Amino acid sequence: MIQKSILLGFLITHFEYTLRLIGRRKFLGLFTASLVSVTIPAAEGYFNTQKLQLTRLDLEIGGKAVLIVDTHLHSFEKIHEKLLEIIIDKEPDIIMLGGDLIDEYTPDIELLSGFLSSLDSKWKVAVLGNHEYWSGNASSVISLLRKKGFVVLKDSFIHTPFGRIYGVDWRDDRKYNSLVAEGIVLTHDPNAASGISGKCLVLSGHTHGGVVIGGATLYSNSSYTRGLYKLRDGGMLYVSRGLGQIFPIRFTSPLELLIIE
């Protein structure tokens, strides 16, 4: 208690000294500027959680595909209604789920059930992300996905009219086996692309687009941050910014729905 009183007294004294040193008006100006410098980015970050952008890749895969990744469903909001309306309108031939549909803060897995029920396509495939595992709900999510008609790929592949579709399962150590592939490779973690070769398209998420300003990456949790990358042997990687987040803020990174035709 004595230490707290001493600290409080020191802070009050220091505050009064600062006011005398720079003047009340200048102090209020600096305080306001600091507040604005924090408030504006925060407001933009929240706005980006409600802003949905469509990205189209023309790759002639023989049909229309959509990539849904990083929804982090906590509730069903207007942005999810808009997302589903767009997907239904596009009538995709294949729907691919790239993981992190839920996380540790998803209140009820039935929330995901309702979302999946609205996704209709002849071909539906999925991989899991880190948060399905970290939430302890991986088994329940797999069962639900299969119930809703999705093929869950765990280091395996299926044959489709669009070629082979591989699924690379999440690894906590983020060290993946080498893979030679032709077709589409679905993986939550873009770091897996470092070990993938062959004429293929790798689709991933996980980064939420990082923080990129003026073309410079200020923060990323992966080797690849967002957008299209060339890989060896003519392969390509696309890292989606995703469709959700754990906390309601996304700096420099609006939501993204990827459409491939």
pTM: 0.83
Please list, in sequence order, all residues whose beta carbon lies within 8 angstroms of the beta carbon of residue 159, skipping any fewer than 6 positions away.
none
Distance between CA atoms of residues 15 and 39, nearest Å: 23
> pLDDT tens, 200-246?
999 999 999 999 998 899 999 999 999 999 998 899 999 999 999 99
Asked if 63 and 237 count as a contact pair (C-beta separation under 8 A), the reply is: no
Q: Is 145 helix (H, G, I), strand (E, B) or coil?
A: helix
pLDDT of residue 65: 98
When pLDDT is cut at 50, 70 and 90, the band that residue 27 belongs to is very low
Give the least confident one: 95-99, 148-152, 221-225, 243-247: 243-247
DSSP H or E stretch at residue 212: strand 211-213
Distance between CA atoms of residues 71 and 224, nearest Å: 19
Neighbours of 153 (CB within 10 A): 21
Burial of residue 69 (CB within 10 Å: 0-12, 13-18, 19+) is: buried
The token pair at 140 is: 């329940």
